[in-house]
Amino acid sequence: MTNATKLSLHVPAPKARPGDPVDFSPLTPPPAGALGRPDIAVHAEDTRDHARGLIRVLNDEGEAVGAWNPRLNAEVLREGLRAMMLTRAFDDRMFRMQRQGKTSFYMKCTGEEAVACAAALALPRDDMCFPTYRQQGMLIARAYPLVRMMNHIYSNAADPNRGRQMPVHYTAKAYGFFSISGNLATQFPQAVGWAMASAYKGDTRIATAYIGDGSTSEGDFHQALTFASVYRAPVILNIVNNQWAISSFQGFAGAGESTFAARGLGYGLPSLRVDGNDFLAVFAATQWAAERARANLGATVIEHYTYRAAPHSTSDDPTRYRPAEEAEKWPLGDPIERLKKHLIARGEWSEAKHKALDKQVVEEVRAAGKESEAIGTLGQSRPSVKEMFEDVYKDQPWHLRRQRQELGV
Amino acid sequence: MTNATKLSLHVPAPKARPGDPVDFSPLTPPPAGALGRPDIAVHAEDTRDHARGLIRVLNDEGEAVGAWNPRLNAEVLREGLRAMMLTRAFDDRMFRMQRQGKTSFYMKCTGEEAVACAAALALPRDDMCFPTYRQQGMLIARAYPLVRMMNHIYSNAADPNRGRQMPVHYTAKAYGFFSISGNLATQFPQAVGWAMASAYKGDTRIATAYIGDGSTSEGDFHQALTFASVYRAPVILNIVNNQWAISSFQGFAGAGESTFAARGLGYGLPSLRVDGNDFLAVFAATQWAAERARANLGATVIEHYTYRAAPHSTSDDPTRYRPAEEAEKWPLGDPIERLKKHLIARGEWSEAKHKALDKQVVEEVRAAGKESEAIGTLGQSRPSVKEMFEDVYKDQPWHLRRQRQELGV
Amino acid sequence: MVQALNSALDVMLARDPDVLIFGEDVGYFGGVFRVTDGLQKKHGLTRCFDAPIAEGGIVAAAIGMGAYGLRPVVEIQFADYIYPAYDQLVSEAARLRYRSAGDFFAPLTVRTPYGGGIFGGQTHSQSPEALFTHVAGLKTVVPSNPHDAKGLLIAAIEDDDPVMFFEPKRLYNGPFDGWHDKPVEPWSKHPASDVPEGHYVVPLGKAAIARAGADVTILAYGTMVHVALAAAAHAEVDAEVIDLRTLVPLDLESIVASVEKTGRCVIVHEATRTSGFGAELAALVQEHCFYALEAPIARVAGWDTPYPHAFEWEYFPGPKRVADALRAVMAA
Amino acid sequence: MVQALNSALDVMLARDPDVLIFGEDVGYFGGVFRVTDGLQKKHGLTRCFDAPIAEGGIVAAAIGMGAYGLRPVVEIQFADYIYPAYDQLVSEAARLRYRSAGDFFAPLTVRTPYGGGIFGGQTHSQSPEALFTHVAGLKTVVPSNPHDAKGLLIAAIEDDDPVMFFEPKRLYNGPFDGWHDKPVEPWSKHPASDVPEGHYVVPLGKAAIARAGADVTILAYGTMVHVALAAAAHAEVDAEVIDLRTLVPLDLESIVASVEKTGRCVIVHEATRTSGFGAELAALVQEHCFYALEAPIARVAGWDTPYPHAFEWEYFPGPKRVADALRAVMAA
Ligand SMILES: Cc1ncc(C[n+]2csc(CCOP(=O)(O)OP(=O)(O)O)c2C)c(N)n1
Ligand SMILES: Cc1ncc(C[n+]2csc(CCOP(=O)(O)OP(=O)(O)O)c2C)c(N)n1
Ligand SMILES: [Mg+2]
Ligand SMILES: [Mg+2]
């Protein structure tokens, strides 16, 4: 070992930090419509190009092109547009409310609305979604009452979570929306278990799961893919690659040398990489994966390539670790703008209508806000303190009863 | 969702169970020498064929062929042959000793000797290997004293592990052999950490890690590959696919739809699938991966395709779950026979010499056995009971001192 | 005890199509301790099947199945290997009902063999029950004989909360009392081996009096119940031996009643002493029986070391050590 | 306290090239609580860097580094997220030296913010220390002020055993005493905020007397030391407050000396009560001070529920609840 190379530790770093110029040119997105839409019985290996490329439907002119065009009628698209706009308006208000001290915490999904909203409309609500905290768009697209979301965020007397959870940890079984966990990645293998149960019972319902790019590093991610592969579970395994995990860029999740979608291939799971800011592409990929699952062909991995335009949460200030102008320069654009352009190009929408809708969703959020705030913001009203001791177990055991009595509630 | 397909749960099953005929014909091994040997700077994607095919050097005639031929001199090969034979003789004796009640437990590596012995000779012993319980061949190939291995197996007064560990949990830092853990897969990410440390210090030493096919399902496997990819750790990540994990065939680790080596590609790690019963192929692949690591090019994944000819351990009876004749019918043959044939074909060995060596290794093991048994087998002699309280911490804290006194030792 | 557990699973598979079993090697092979022997053959491939070696994945899948509406029973091959599933158990199974205000819950049962005495060394001997009793939302059960094992396991499966079910592996094949150099008795000679056929329940949260006595109360569970009985005999002390059966929720009432009567208390477990469940028991007993106590509560437990292969019987809190503690407590 | 911890890390990075730091968001950004702020910039990219979101992988890598010869310091972003690393800590870090008879060991330090009081709900408020005190081979440390935090952290990094270092996050920016509706005091007004520059050590295994007193002993650590002091003042009881600082190995001598003197004992922690570290303390105190005790030992702790967002201050064992316990113990 004489004269051997000295080893050195490689620590990845993003292209740009605050103060550096932003250059996304190496990411120039491939043209829309370029990739074929394989048969749902495809072998994983034959989705190699889909796992490394990028499925896109909307081109720069706003036209829907190629084999992945889901050929949705304008009604559905307007519903999707509305859901995304309402989600953004909701996020904006709640972020402001946190800043005003009306709640302790909030998380936006700005720039990523298509990921959740398209899936919500592509799947029936008796399927079960295992979301992360950034799929609020799914609830909103399915018309879950905004007031109820707010009641939870305010931990007020009407909070469906009974004041027990930090904001944005919704639960909505009736809307096919699993209780959000604060522990990253845990929901991914749980979704596989739910899907296995559905298969076990000879049901027709499938599961869908979400995970962030950063969270894919957890062991749970791997166990989910392993179980999904072994038992051919009817589940859609979605990775939302929004480039950032708090202050850590995707290189710390191993994105430097491969794509997240490509992980799936090693498990024999057909895998797609999708333009996550393209409502139509997300819709189409979700539909394809759902068809596969329902045909007993097993799981699909989908990477949604997008960008977290917002801070991680209200506790975060991204200008400390990334250039502020990254979001604007993001080459895949804004999902709302892109769908709007498509609808206008199809003659199904107009600037005026858009403006009106924008006003309408803001108004809708404001009205819900007023209603919820009337019940109370954080600390103003809350569920009975007794609720602290309920639901730890189905029936309250003696020691919790005694502790409740000790507290005098 | 009317008339939808009823889902059904897929539970994988091996081709044959006890009583069924054994048919390995779908596994017909590809010809030796078929795959090219890429440059060590290869991109992971360009090892796709290596991750899904099978690197083989020895052909049916016992000739070494193709680009992966490591062109070893006969001396090294005879050393390897001897190491494998000694390992097998050691295993046979210790298995018998357990049956005679002289120890509590033993694990053989019969049929898999090439995996550990070739690597032991391909790498210097100042590299650090993070083994499983089936790489005893590595110690034996490096002439670790058999007596000491036995002293451990017998938990006798000279046990280097001080009576604390179940048999076969060797530790031998001076031989580049990390303390074996009974907890599957945990060593895999630890090896990556060791390699990161070596890189951090500007050292030239690399790490090598082993994991069984079944154990790849643990989260630790994924975290190891993720860290190895992110930090380009100088580590060789070996998966020993011996087809079985106790009674569970490799299908329960997700091998049905892909290969274990192919997992590595998704992390951007060059990945090789190697005929694990071909000493030359294992040697060559290890050398290639070590070169990569030492050139600061990062980690390599190697799947060693082999067969667990022995029971899982002395606690196991494989005839309960697989046909007894599988081992003989295994299409990749026996690593000792194959290397012997090669040496004879090269004119560097003979049946007579082989027979003599066989006698010699058995004798060597017997002699070591006598020496170790003279110190004592399980329960006949053992380290001081005081040792129970040592090494829990570097210095014995008061509560352990008090507990030792309470026990009266 | 193996047959009793097998019978509980068999009964539940037959009664309830929502019960299914999975874990490492539990399917075709029937488990390394044979507890699921024959169940796949009898009930079908999807009712009792093998799983990847991924304890976290096994528990996670069971949580998902539970949320769907099934009653999964999973096996962790050895309690020593439960830690990869710790996050899913603590952060997820235990909290799902609470965090979702009852919208979702996961009624899984986690069976796992625990304890030493089989020369398993540090990775096949551990007793990690205290790591679960600290976790609100989990129930923790430890049977000590075949009759209870079956009835408690059925109760655990039917319970709507997640239940940790620790099986004392040293009791699988006989009522081991800690005299390790004496011949092993089979269960067939023991009264509690009389296991009714079919469905019956031993309720969670209720202790049993394994032996009535007047002088000192011994709190024990699992293997240690038998050791406690042997120790009482050895020390010739009229001990009342309480078999806790369920650690959470605990049958404090029975404990307090006994200690109020005897005025003395010895706690026995195999787990390491510091922060073991014995600590909680001692804290509760002194809290509730302070004025009745005539001597300090003694704990006899595994030492604060890993479980060592060659010193197994010096580690194991056997009848001699328990008897010494009994004598000391009686003398105090 | 954040600055004190930062200074400890800074000092150790400068002194020892084998010390390195990694964890989620600790590198360029300096950690979500800013404890590693500026360290990457000052000491270089490979001395303090970000890690994948994989707590198990982080600890595993640190074990490997430790076995190589380094002294890694890792951050787990919240103690609530330590469970995915539980197996690597319990089965590996804690046992490596033992199982290899000293051939290998891993002197890692695991820093993690714990405790509630920041509206973090059940996943940003937990106090899991008891889950580590049960594990032989680990040391467990909890500082309560900037001076100790720096000295204990340096001692932990220099220690050759794996050390769990729990940082009371509610104390990061001030000596919070549990009166949550009073204005927050900054550390600068507190005597223990006087943190020497450079290297110094507060030895592991030694408690401190936070307040000398005659009537009752309060055992506390971390945030609860300040709550205990406030409670004593509120109840107007002459309490001796012992700041344990290290839970394992425990300074039992100081505890026994105090309780022998006062004859009364109240134990306070934020973790859930059942099987919390208070159980071990109560068990030990009754064992060693039985004849000196004039009243049952009381425990004031978090309830046996997850930490709820809207009822944070009903959950938190604040000065009022502690004062009630003091009064009850004094009246007994
Ligand atoms: C097990 C666990 N570890 C760490 C955290 C702290 N944490 C919360 S969000 C987050 C980043 C997640 O990033 P990513 O998965 O990319 O999702 P994104 O926020 O970008 O949607 C971290 C580290 C956590 N919640 N759970
Ligand atoms: C974490 C953990 N889970 C389960 C076990 C029990 N166990 C010991 S060996 C084994 C099978 C391992 O199979 P594989 O990884 O294929 O290795 P092989 O024995 O074939 O070499 C199992 C399940 C364990 N030791 N550790
Ligand atoms: Mg992200
Ligand atoms: Mg195997």
Q: Is residue B397 part of a domain?
A: no
Give percent above pLDDT 70 in chain C. 100
Q: How many whole angstroms separate alpha carbon C122 and alpha carbon B165? A: 7
Q: Residue B315: what are its φ and ψ, rounded to 5°?
A: -85, 0
Q: Residue B377: what are its φ and ψ, rounded to 5°?
A: -95, 180
Residue C184 banded pLDDT, cuts 50, 70, 90: confident
> Which residues of chain B have a CB within 8 Å of the CB of C27?
11
Closest atom, ligand 2, to C-alpha of B107: 19
Q: How many whole angstroms separate alpha carbon A354 and alpha carbon A133? A: 28
pLDDT at D7 over 80: yes
Q: Is residue A4 part of a domain?
A: no
A38-60: average pLDDT: 97
| Whole-model pTM over 0.90 | yes
Coil/strand/helix, residue B153: helix
Under an 8 A CB cutoff, do D314 and A409 touch?
yes
Under an 8 A CB cutoff, do C279 and D274 touch?
no
Number of domains in chain A: 1
Beta-carbon contacts of A169 under 8 Å, excluding residues fewer than 6 positions away, are A133, A152, A161, A179, A180, A181, A182, C99, D121
Burial of C327 (0-12, 13-18, 19+ CB in 10 A): middle
Q: Is the Cβ–Cβ distance between A389 and A397 less than 8 Å? A: no
Residue among B238, C235, A219, C62 at smallest CA distance from D60: A219
- Per the listing, tokens 């020993």 go with B240
Under an 8 A CB cutoff, do A220 and B219 touch?
yes
Minimum-distance CB partner of D84 among A219, A315, A399: A219
Minimum-distance CB partner of C104 among A179, A224, A399: A179
Mutate to test the pocket of ligand 1, among A110, A136, A211, A215 (most ligand atoms within 8 A of CB): A215
What does the mean pLDDT of chain B come to? 97
Q: How many whole angstroms separate alpha carbon A60 and alpha carbon B328? A: 62
Own/partner long-range contacts of D186-191 (Cβ < 8 Å, ≥24 apart): D187/D1, D187/D145, D187/D146, D190/D145, D190/D146
Q: Is residue B48 part of a domain?
A: yes
pLDDT at A403 over 90: yes
Q: What per-residue confidence (pLDDT) applies to A256?
A: 81
Ligand 1 mean position, distance from CA A308 (Å): 13
Q: Write b or e for each residue in A208-220: b if 16 or more Cβ atoms lie within 10 A of its Cβ, otherwise e.
A: bbbbbbbbbbbbb
- Helix (H) or strand (E) run with residue A273 in it: strand A271-275
Q: How many whole angstroms separate alpha carbon D143 and alpha carbon D151? A: 9
Q: How many whole angstroms separate alpha carbon D311 and alpha carbon A384? A: 9
pLDDT at A122 over 80: yes
Q: What per-residue confidence (pLDDT) applies to A1?
A: 47
Query: Is the CB–ligand 1 distance for residue A259 below 6 Å?
Result: no
User: Judging by DSSP bridges, how do beta strands D139-141 and D163-168 pair with one another?
Assistant: parallel
Per CATH, domain C208-331 is 3.40.50.920: yes
Coil/strand/helix, residue B147: helix
- Closest residue, chain D, to B198 (C-alpha): D68
Q: Is the Cβ–Cβ distance between C227 and C214 less than 8 Å? A: no
Residue among D137, D269, D285 at smallest CA distance from D216: D285
Beta-carbon contacts of C44 under 8 Å, excluding residues fewer than 6 positions away, are none
Under an 8 A CB cutoff, do A181 and C99 touch?
yes
Q: Is the Cβ–Cβ distance between C22 and C72 less than 8 Å? A: yes
Out of C43, C124, C226, C269, pick the active-site residue. C124
Residue among D304, D238, D59 at smallest CA distance from B186: D59
| Architecture of the domain delimited by C2-193 | 3-Layer(aba) Sandwich (3.40)
Q: What per-residue confidence (pLDDT) applies to B25?
A: 82
Q: Is C134 on the interface with D (CB under 8 A)?
A: yes
The count of residues in chain D is 332
Q: Is residue B19 part of a domain?
A: no
pLDDT at B2 over 80: no
Residue among D143, D297, D112 at smallest CA distance from D221: D143
- Please write the tens of the pLDDT for every residue from C1-26: 999 999 999 999 999 999 999 999 99
Q: How many whole angstroms separate alpha carbon D94 and alpha carbon D100? A: 12
DSSP letter assigned to residue B173: G
Q: Is the Cβ–Cβ distance between D146 and D152 less than 8 Å? A: no
Domain range spanning residue B112? 40-378
Q: How many whole angstroms separate alpha carbon D109 and alpha carbon D66? A: 10
- Per the listing, tokens 């949604």 go with A304
Query: For residue A12, which amino acid is it?
Result: P
Q: Is the Cβ–Cβ distance between B111 and B327 less than 8 Å? A: yes
Positive or negative, the CA dihedral A121, A125, A128, A130 is: positive
Coil/strand/helix, residue A222: helix
Token digits for A177?
């929306």
pLDDT at C314 over 50: yes
- Please write the tens of the pLDDT for every residue from D157-177: 999 999 999 999 999 999 999
Burial of A22 (0-12, 13-18, 19+ CB in 10 A): middle
Please state whether the peptide bond connecting residue A131 to the residue before it is cis, i.e. omega within 30 degrees of 0.
no
Q: How many whole angstroms separate alpha carbon B288 and alpha carbon B70? A: 10
Residue minimizing CA distance to atom 7 of ligand 2: B184
Closest atom, ligand 1, to C-alpha of D25: 23
Under an 8 A CB cutoff, do A248 and D53 touch?
yes
Query: For residue D155, which amino acid is it?
Result: A
Residue among D138, D134, D112 at smallest CA distance from D125: D112
Q: Is residue B392 part of a domain?
A: no
> Which residues of chain B have a CB within 8 Å of the CB of D288?
none
- Please write the tens of the pLDDT for every residue from D12-67: 999 999 999 999 999 999 999 999 999 999 999 999 999 999 999 999 999 999 99
Report the CATH number at residue B284. Answer: 3.40.50.970
Q: Is B194 on the interface with D (CB under 8 A)?
A: yes
Minimum-distance CB partner of C304 among D136, D274, D298: D136
Q: Is D199 a catalytic residue?
A: no
- In this predicted complex, what is the ipTM? 0.98
- Helix (H) or strand (E) run with residue D224 in it: helix D223-235
Closest atom, ligand 2, to C-alpha of B185: 1
What does the mean pLDDT of chain C come to? 97
Q: How many whole angstroms separate alpha carbon B249 and alpha carbon D301? A: 49
- B200: closest CA of chain A, how far (Å): 5
Chains in touch with D (≥3 Cβ pairs < 8 A): A, B, C
DSSP letter assigned to residue B359: H
Q: Is residue B105 part of a domain?
A: yes
B363-384: average pLDDT: 98
Sequence ranges of the domains in chain C: 2-193, 208-331
Q: What per-residue confidence (pLDDT) applies to B257?
A: 79
Q: What per-residue confidence (pLDDT) applies to A9?
A: 98
